[in-house]
């Protein structure tokens, strides 16, 4: 998934500062979940 565009100004800086780490955390959690499910399916 990719988000394009970038606004300028303090509101946009705040937005990207908050949303960026949240996406990385969410995607990492999804990856771990899918890997666990795949491992459970091969046992």
pLDDT in tens, 5-40: 678 899 888 988 988 899 899 999 999 999 999 998
Number of residues in the chain: 43
Q: Is the pLDDT confidence value at 1 over 70?
A: no
First to last CA, the chain: 31
CA triplet 15, 29, 21: central angle to 5 degrees? 20
Residue with more model confidence, 38 or 41 = 38
3-state DSSP helix/strand/coil percent for the chain, to nearest 5?
75, 0, 25
């Amino acid at each position: 998934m990719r988000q394009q565009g970038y606004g300028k100004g303090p509101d946009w800086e705040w937005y990207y500062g908050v949303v960026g780490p949240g996406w990385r955390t969410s995607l990492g959690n999804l990856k771990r979940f899918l890997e666990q499910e795949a491992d459970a399916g091969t046992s």
